[in-house]
Structure 1
């Protein structure tokens, strides 16, 4: 008979040694001790991890984010959104602006009147600028808060109700502008005209965060033409603030401002900057949407 392979016998004996009753080099008692050690060790680590998470959760609120570091308050944005904030179209060719009008139409659909009929969720807050609408402290036990209705009709020819093309078909494009939602944020109107440029001082009025658009580049001076503003007070009225967050204000609709450029110079790339002004509204050169935005518009003949 052939001799037994020593290596084969060696690894078989390592797996189970019938003489010493060892499995993989350890006796049953040794395996019990090491398994108990690792059970206690990893159980201790799991306990530290779970305890740390529980302590962290105690510092968080279901109603308001503890930390906010994405966009400093407040961000100003607009519809339609476009790649690199550049819009080029021809009023005679619908396919060149169809995506723009579709974007506005989809955004404004949430402001349809039939979606604001529920009296348990919405209330009328007036068509004129008013002071903040106090609905209790954020942490109070009042529960879900009502939101102010916002009618699309206040956006005039930019509402999309009568003009489904939002002025693009006549070379008078509209933009729909909003302040981004920030839980419990109360924007403060400018208390002094010194913080507002000379050309925008006429926009300052009580209970409104004013907005003003102008050419961003000096070489575009005179090419922008007339800019019309639509909305309550042609700005952001205070009665729509504060916002109480998704849990308490999931149906909330922020106020909108529509701007319409009625006589932009044709066949020119015009860079336009729009800014809002307030005591607690700031700007940052590194963030193009903090309290402002800019967009390039070109209308081709």
Structure 2
């Protein structure tokens, strides 16, 4: 039966000579939904109208570019000999940590220019970010990338996965861990956790820092199963950065709770 399995077509449709890939559609859909939720929450929290729409005009392209640059840097041995492939993000190859770096820097500058708290913006955005990540992982699914090591079909069937996922994990004669799915489920759980925590009287900034911790914990373990990790020497970069982010987020929370008692709380109207 395995010999007859055909992968899903990564191309959704074509407009003349232009192929529109599912990867781009899924990533775009995740961004659109994330922006919609963030705008609704920003309005509820009393931010000036169009704050997030204006922010996204800068943050989205910068995030995509920085995500690609990050990926290309760690895969430079390939791209130095294939420079024409560098802009081809529709074939995959963007790193979420690169996107987060670009987005955070953009938000810092934007918040300063608008006179809005950086922490307030990121608290509002945190649930949207992790939901967008959950959706975006399905773009990896369509490209048959970001998977883990070899498994058997019976292993996947014992996870009670639908056939379309099991079949898509059959790549070049071998079944693989659907690590895209593991991370997507973790991110969806994180979304609902953050929605719940939004009702807790956290200090300003702690919702975003909770996102950083939750996502980094999941990413650390999922990354250990993957076969396409970006490496620096013998270190998996995603795992290394995840540990650094967890330590940094916890340290910031502890510092602000002990040294900055006047920080506004999440449910305060001034927040």
Normalising by the residue count of structure 1, what TM-score does the alignment of the two structures yield?
0.27
Asked which structure has the greater RCO (Cα within 8 Å, sep 6+), the reply is 1
Q: Which has the higher helix share?
A: 2
Larger Rg: 1
